[in-house]
Structure 1
Amino acid sequence: MIKNRITLYIDMLFCLVIMPLAIMLLPVDRWIVNNTAFLIALVAYVYILYFIYRIACIPKLFMQKRYLRIFVLMLVLTTVTEMFTYFPMPAEHINDDVRQMVAKMNIRRQTIWFFFLVVTGFSLAIELTFELFRQIISRQEVEAEKNKAELSLYKAQINPHFLFNTLNTLYALVLSGSDKTESAFVKFSGILRYMYSQNESELIPVGDELDYIHQYVDLQKLRLNHHTEVQLNVEASSKKVLIPPMILITFVENAFKYGTSSDKDCKIDIRIKIDENKLLFETENAVMRKPEGQKTGIGIQNCRKRLELLYPGKYELYNGEKNGIYHVRLLIDLKK
């Protein structure tokens, strides 16, 4: 739509401004009296030539490597232009002496080729510009589709990862015969509803994500005993700020996975601060167990990739262990 509008404006600029001004450089007042047919034919030829170039789109043909078609087109146009230089002279000039006749023929020839070169140069410049824009837009569309596909893949990988860990929690409650099992399943069903209702959303209100994290933390608390202390502090000046869904849960999940114990005192501290300009997320937990193979889990890898796609150059992420305490700090610049 925008491209078509720009094309229309450029065509109008050429037809209504540039060409009329160029034609006014000719001795129009004399030619319109003594050489009317030639002047009308020249104007018609100039406009026809312009729209032939616009329709043919030589830069696009060049990108498609259709060199023969370009050669044939240019050969035809130059031949027609050369033939046009032999346009009949008015009858009153036939009796002029040879020198005057040659001079007038040369002027006409130079005029015709001048307009041919002007129209050719202008048309090719415009079409080349449009072709460059087309290439840029095409690449951006391909990149956007690629990013969208990658985000969908990462989200698809995160959900099974989360479900597996949560089902382990529920399984442990069932085996222990805990009276908290029913409450846990109610919270789990609420979490599932959230996950699949937001599955197609690229951005959601932060209030929805915070409710989801609260439900997850409450679910985890049901399986923990008095040895694990959990603190969740949330400050949100506005719950309508938009953020990607499930961008924080991986770190919360890992804190519970590796920072809890049934026989040793430990603490999980989760802090979230959000305003209209930034999101600050931090977790601290004692390292009660290590990941197998000492490798970063798939959840954190996916989270990094999502952040890189969604907030390139606008986020800071640190995660690491120091003195037996694992710390995560994520800062996202939400300003557009």
Structure 2
Amino acid sequence: MPRLLLTGANGFVGKILTGRLQGAGYEVVALGGNVSPAQSIADEYLTCDIRDASALAQAVADAQPTHVIHLAAISHVPTSFKEPLLTWQTNVIGSMNLLEAIRQHAPDAFTLFPSSSEVYGAAFKSGIAVEEDTLPQPLNPYAASKVAAEYAFREYFRQGLDGVIARPFNHIGAQQSPDFVTASFARQIALIEAGQQTPVLKVGNLEAIRDFLDVQDVCDAYIQLLGLAGKPGHPLCLNIASGQSRKIRDVLELMLKQSQTPIAVEQDPERLRPSDIPIAAGNNTLLKQTTGWQPAIALETTLSQLLDYWREQVKTTP
């Protein structure tokens, strides 16, 4: 059975991906921070700060993976503005530490690095769906750190490690932090329905257009990308996008229609990004051609599940 080392295993995607990987036949060695292993369903659990090179090297040596997925990152854009040093240390130096550990202790492992569509930044302003050869023009510390990490992975791939870089667009679903837009909407709606928040939903920029994917579809893409292991000449970088961008206002309307409670909407200046772009659209042709992947879950279904999740959370949280 292939052994897969999953960094960032305690995060939103990591928790979901662990089960999906096990279902696909992988033995999952989860690597997380200072969180109890009891919260993980992984086959094995290792604790390590990826900024600690020696500890990470030992973890990779202990895991002896045939595959690696590197999810661990500071991924919240506002946090990257507030704590740029932590962002760069985690996202760039942490990635370098992992690459060096793989080179030393698991050189035959296939590594998937999920970067981010945020790397395209100002390139989105063309209004054209970006392709993998579109020049990244990051507009925030998170995106810049991901570009730098991508170049580190490309260099190690050039030197002989096998792997691929993915650029997923906005993925959403139950268990995501309310720091992110659709989860914030869902949580506020649930609180208002329960009478725990005044019937005013605070929002940021509703005119922005984004490509939203269900997290399960993203996990499916990751698993299919692992199938490129050992196949010479595979692409080094692929977009994971639905191919259908939507205005955030329209996404909010879909959610509000699922509530019977009258809710007003009010813009909160604190929720506006200093470098927001009007539209983010991605071309997913290369991923489809390479793996046969297609998004399978309708946005309306994802939003319904997200609302139900937060309704349950509000019921069970004092």
TM-score (norm 2): 0.21
Structure with higher helix content: 1
Return the structure number with greater relative CO, CA threshold 8 A, min gap 6: 2
